[in-house]
């Protein structure tokens, strides 16, 4: 993941800053932009009420745009699911 994303400049892709080793384990240092997974967002917000159409479409359009840019860079996300989509509700 580090090798694939360190050179990408795509708005919406979490930036990879470094690959560190510690105690014989590897840690990927990623950008922190206050995001939560779409799965966690829906667990807390979608139980009390459904996503409004405007929010749903904003998430869907941004996801499609980001995936399109990834594909232009010959990268295919092989595990696309709400747990792997990060959003910043703010």
How sure is the predictor about 25, in pLDDT bands with cuts at 50, 70 and 90?
very high
pLDDT mean over 34-47: 85
pTM of the model: 0.78
Cα distance between residue 39 and residue 83, in whole Å: 5
pLDDT mean over 39-58: 83
Which residues are known catalytic residues?
Answer: 79
What string of DSSP letters covers 12-24? TSPPEEEEEEETT
pLDDT mean over 16-25: 91
CB contact at 8 A, 52 and 43: no
């Amino acid at each position: 993941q580090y090798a694939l994303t360190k050179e990408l400049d795509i708005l919406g892709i979490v930036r990879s800053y470094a690959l560190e080793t510690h105690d014989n384990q590897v840690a990927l240092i990623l950008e922190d932009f206050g995001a939560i997974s779409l799965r966690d967002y829906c667990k807390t917000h979608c139980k009390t009420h459904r996503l409004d159409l405007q929010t749903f479409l904003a998430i869907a359009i941004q996801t499609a745009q980001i995936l399109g840019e990834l594909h232009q860079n010959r990268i295919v996300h092989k595990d696309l699911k709400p747990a792997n989509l990060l959003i910043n509700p703010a």
